[in-house]
Every structure is written in C-alpha cells, then in structure tokens.
Structure 1
C-alpha cells in the first residue's frame, strides 16, 4: 500500500533510511577534535548536557521518528556556536534545516527551564575573590546591561530600537569574580534605559533590603547602598584609587559577556543578528547564558577572549539632587577612607 508523502519526515525524504540520521548518529564514532570544531564543546560536556536535558527533550518529541536527545543537543550547540542553520551543519549530523530549527527550539526551551537551577544568587558571597582582583571590598557581584541585535519585530514597535539605532533585546547581567552569572534577565526591550531595566528587575527587588555587600555598576547607574558607582569627579588620591579599583573589578562582567558572545556566535552582532521574534531571541540568549554557567561549573574556562580594544566609556547618569541617596554617598565615603586612603 502506498504511504502518503504528507506523513513522511523531511529527513527521510532528503536522506533515505540508509544514512546516519535521527537517532542513528553515534557520538563514539567521531573524534574529540570533530566535536570541538563543529559544536564548540568537548565530548564529556556534551554527554553531560544530553543526560541533563534528556527527559525534557524526550517529552517534546513523542513521535514515531523522534530525533534523539543526542542529535537535538548537537544541532542546538552547532547553531549556538556558529549562528548558522546552514545545510552543512545539518549534513554533519544527518538532519534537515527544518529539523535543525525544531531541535534548537526544543533545546532552548529545555535550557530555559534549567535557568533557576544554574543562575542564582543563592550561594555564598565571594567577597575575597573580588577583593583579590583590585582590592575592592564587599562586592557581591558586578552589574551591566548589554544589547543583543535582533531582526526588527513585525509590528511598528519602537521600544526595541536602542540608543545606537538598531533593534535589540537588553540583557541585564550580574556575575561573580569568576564570571559565573548570578542573575540574567534577557527579556527587556532594547530601547529601555539601563536604569529603568534595573528598577524593574528582580535584582532590584532582591537587594533593596540587603544589609551586607553591594554590586558594582558603572556611571550609568545611580549610587545606592547596595550599588556602588564610580566617583563622578574624583579629587583626592583615595578617590582616584577607588575609581581605578572599581573599573578593574567591574570589567569582569564585560569580559564575561564578551566570552559568551565569542563562544556563542549566534549572539555576536558583528556577524549579523538573531532572526527571531524578541521573545524567541530572549530565550536563545538566556539558553546561552545557562550553557555558560553549566560549562563553568563543569570546569571549562569562563573567558575565551581577552579584550584588545579600549572600554567604551559609559555616559554618566545625570542625577537630580532629590534623587541622590545621602546614605549611599556616606557609605561610599567610608569605603574610600577605610580601604583606599
């Protein structure tokens, strides 16, 4: 009896039953160098990731010719690390571009579900690790807001046009001294000011009543008891030393995001932009951040790229007198006097 073509998987039509497709791809049949070159990670990490996501991926592929979790993970890693759905990537593991897209969606959703497990403030503060960087005391984490380019939404929504004139999603990051992400919020429209993103964020709510330690933020942010910023116009040697230590420590978050962009080239705006809706782009960005933390906790290097060009100087926030926090200003003076005089 003839089988209606409509029910056949596109991979079967493209490759036939005899090729290495779907659940037939064997990780043991390829070299470590092959995996690193094509998927950006070593074998042990890929196997760990497959086990971590297996249940979620099997749940999403309840069909007679379901693509195996191994192939789904390889397809997603191939996209994240190359930013491409090119046929050559699908050919590498024996699936079509359409199936590549489904795999990326499945793995992205599975990783986003894991975000609360791998990205959390609920760990011991690393005050000593931060202080070893440049002598800045009491640092809970370093804060920044970065932009990831996306295609223009279908609607005439200008909220995604950032100050540099391109469409983006804004991602607010907090990381520790090792580059481990403590907080990642990827769903903000790129047109929002960094201060507004912070005010609306979970970090703001989490640290409002914090009694020990502070974040470091650059001059775009307001000075608060839980958020130390540089001195706007330093005059004394101690204030200059404070600013130098602040910049050296705060740069950790910039290096961390540059490392994420380098490893996950789908986020590298110099190579193009994410060809998805803001919602899906935000999910892909969060999935890559989760992968960054998983890889770091698995013993892989956090920073794969050292900065070669000078830091872009942020625009200093012009605060009104009524918005200034006198208690925070007094606390900063105490820090400067005690640690940098």
Structure 2
C-alpha cells in the first residue's frame, strides 16, 4: 500500500538552500501546543530524545558555533513530519537551510545507530496480545510493505518506479499487537513486488525454519507455514529507518501510535495468483486447522 506522506526532498537534505544566519531557538520560549503542531511530538518526548542522542550529536558538531542538540532534533522532527525543507521551519528555529540539512543528516545517523536497540525480533513472542486483540493464536507479528514516495533519482533508474507510476522506496515492516516495529527494511526499490521483497528479506531467512508461531499477511503474500494469509482480500535508505526507530522510541516512552487520522482509505490488496508448484499443502492444512479450531 502507499502511505500519504509528503515526498522526501533528498536533494535539499544533501545540499540545503542558503546561508541565512538567524538567532537560535529557545525551546522554553514556546508552548507545548506549538511544539506538537510544528514538530509532531510533545515537549517531554522531545527532551527525552535530545538526551538519548546528545552524545552522538555533540560528537558531530565540533564547531565554534555548534548548533545545540535541541535545535538539531527539532530540525529533524520538522523534516520528518513534513517530508521537505521549508524556509519558515528554518526561520522558526533560527538556522539557515544549509544548517538545517546538516542537522537532519546528523539526527538521522544518530537514530539509525539506535536501530538495533529499538527495532529487534529478539522479544518474547506476543501470542497473548494478538489473541486478546483479535482472537488469533500463535501470531508473532503482522507483515506489510508500504511505498514511500521519493524524488526521482538523477539517473535513469526505473527500478524505483512502482506499479502506480511514481518513484518510491518499498519498506517492509513487521509489527506486534501494540504497533511496535519488530523488523524494518527500508532500502528496497519501489518497483519490486511485495513478494519479491519478502523473498529477499532478512525476515524470510529468519523465519524459514521457524517452528513456533507465524506472521499475518494480506492476500498479496503466498501462504507459508510461518506466514498466514486470508482466504479473501481485506482492507487492511536512512531517513525511513530513522522514522521507524523514532516510532518505536515514542511507543516505548508511552506515546499513542494511533493519534493521526488516515487521509485516504486502505486500498484493496490484489490476491496473489499462486502457481500450483508454489502452493504449500502443509501450510494450507495448518490454516484450515487454525480456522476450524479458533474461528468456526
């Protein structure tokens, strides 16, 4: 599915837009509502994030007029929530567009370094949580692949053009019943089918010989012993990975993941037309047993 966010302006991330020098931003001078509206997160979480990344951000700014970790974090959050650089955002926090692009790069690298700490499959299976939410037993997580729009690469590389005709990066995600991300792969060209991304992913290798539990996927995926799919269809890169880490950090700090309204309905997934030789009879029998035992 495609998620309705602004197109990431990677050229501006790399090169910035100018060299205007302004007075620095004071976090204590604005209201909680201002921070939430402009940067997408409440004050307490922003301060927590600053402390979490402070060492890495100070390490990357060995300048006489170094930009504070607080301003760097705000610059990055402003970019992550809007998807592009805006002159007004740089003016708000008192830095030039060129400085803002450096801040986003610094914070992105710092968050990506935290990925192994905040995004991991090495957790206790959340069987009970999923069964309580949906009555489905043995669920390790929910699998999906989303398309995030990007600016067209400078080269004539068509691999990033997805089936809807725009350039994107395919992000394969697995989450638990809370929405906490267990696995994120944010580097696949948007032109790849979801099934191809899955076959080439670390999740496929990790669960191939799994003997306990399974993932849930929609009808675009093949049925496997470790991946349960429905009988019928249902509605259901570094910056992207940094956003995934940020998502988990916010959940683990107590924020609600489901506060933003979806701007467009979930699309109807296309059912995978499996060839006879691709069918897994053991997985089909396992799915029948699950449905008969728990949903009949």
TM-score, scaled to structure 2:
0.87
Cα 1:31–1:202 shift into 2, 3 Å: same
Residue 279 of structure 1 corresponds to which residue in structure 2? 234
Query: Does the aligned pair in 2 maintain the 1:108–1:284 contact within 8 Å?
Result: yes
Q: CA deviation at 1:282?
A: 2.3
Cα 1:70–1:278 shift into 2, 3 Å: farther
Residue 234 of structure 2 aligns to a residue whose secondary structure is helix
Q: CA deviation at 1:26?
A: 2.9
Cα 1:145–1:16 shift into 2, 3 Å: closer
The count of residues paired between Structure 1 and Structure 2 equals: 295
Task: Provide the alpha-carbon RMSD of the alignment.
Answer: 9.3
Structure (1 or 2) with the greater helix fraction = 1
Residue range with higher mean Cα deviation, 309-318 or 187-196: 309-318
- Cα distance in 2, alignment partners of residues 8 and 160 from structure 1: 14
Residue range with higher mean Cα deviation, 279-288 or 193-202: 279-288
Cα 1:11–1:293 shift into 2, 3 Å: closer
Query: Does the aligned pair in 2 maintain the 1:150–1:277 contact within 8 Å?
Result: no
Q: CA deviation at 1:136?
A: 1.2
2:137 is equivalent to residue 182 of structure 1:
no
Query: Does the aligned pair in 1 maintain the 2:235–2:269 contact within 8 Å?
Result: no
Cα 1:23–1:316 shift into 2, 3 Å: same
Residue range with higher mean Cα deviation, 78-87 or 191-200: 78-87
Q: CA deviation at 1:336?
A: 1.5
Matching residue within 252, 272, 276 for 1:317: 272
Cα 1:7–1:64 shift into 2, 3 Å: farther
Residue 2 of structure 2 corresponds to which residue in structure 1? 2
Query: Does the aligned pair in 2 maintain the 1:145–1:194 contact within 8 Å?
Result: yes
Residue range with higher mean Cα deviation, 311-320 or 70-79: 311-320
- Cα distance in 2, alignment partners of residues 5 and 330 from structure 1: 40
CA deviation map 1:286-331 (0-9, x unaligned): 1111111111111011112355755322111111111111111111
Unaligned runs of at least 5 residues, structure 2: none
Q: CA deviation at 1:25?
A: 3.4
Residue 170 of structure 2 aligns to a residue whose secondary structure is strand
CA deviation map 1:200-227 (0-9, x unaligned): 1111111111111100011111111100
- Cα distance in 1, alignment partners of residues 103 and 113 from structure 2: 15
Cα 1:281–1:324 shift into 2, 3 Å: closer
Bigger-Rg structure (1/2)? 1
Cα 1:18–1:217 shift into 2, 3 Å: closer
Q: CA deviation at 1:193?
A: 0.9
Q: CA deviation at 1:21?
A: 7.6
Query: Does the aligned pair in 1 maintain the 2:75–2:104 contact within 8 Å?
Result: yes
Alignment of 1:1-341 (within 5 A): 25-229=25-229, 282-307=237-262, 310-341=265-296
Cα 1:334–1:6 shift into 2, 3 Å: closer
Residue range with higher mean Cα deviation, 307-316 or 47-56: 307-316
Query: Does the aligned pair in 1 maintain the 2:23–2:95 contact within 8 Å?
Result: no
Residue 243 of structure 2 aligns to a residue whose secondary structure is helix
- Cα distance in 2, alignment partners of residues 68 and 277 from structure 1: 53
Q: CA deviation at 1:82?
A: 2.4
- Cα distance in 2, alignment partners of residues 93 and 152 from structure 1: 29
Q: CA deviation at 1:155?
A: 1.1
Cα 1:28–1:155 shift into 2, 3 Å: same
- Cα distance in 1, alignment partners of residues 14 and 207 from structure 2: 54
Cα 1:220–1:8 shift into 2, 3 Å: closer
Q: CA deviation at 1:90?
A: 1.1
